[in-house]
Chains A and B, each alone.
Chain A
């Protein structure tokens, strides 16, 4: 089969979108898990501060989530805009 330039570009964009979101999901997944693990540990040590600790955990996770969202944005750009 003859592959045209436009087809090749689209193919690379689709594969790139999959790789971007797939690889981009590793870091936030592991990092947010470690954050939550430490929050659980801290609540175990100091149960009275459970509210404060859960709030801090969520803020920290939200920041850690940002790279996952960048991946999602780039994947969507590759799929629908480029």
Chain B
């Protein structure tokens, strides 16, 4: 079963390569949204199984996107994994992640192996619920 992943990140090159890598596994269909303000619309349209969300983005940051997803009955239950290239502890603390309703946080550069494992765990826990 092919799972649908929505990647929201303003880094065009990074998202392009992330999509290539994930789709290469044959297990995922990936949609990229480089403009965070359009993230919710795209999410409604695409209805992903999981969202990969960057934190620092112009317009709306990852925290805002996650919070709006929480307020949206259609999107509330979609698991979110956050990604960040931030280095300071406070900005990447687990509290902040929990506050944003995200289930995990991955530091950039993202290790593909770790990301794939993270995705598997997410789907496994979802299946287990």
Is chain B found bound to chain A in the same assembly?
no
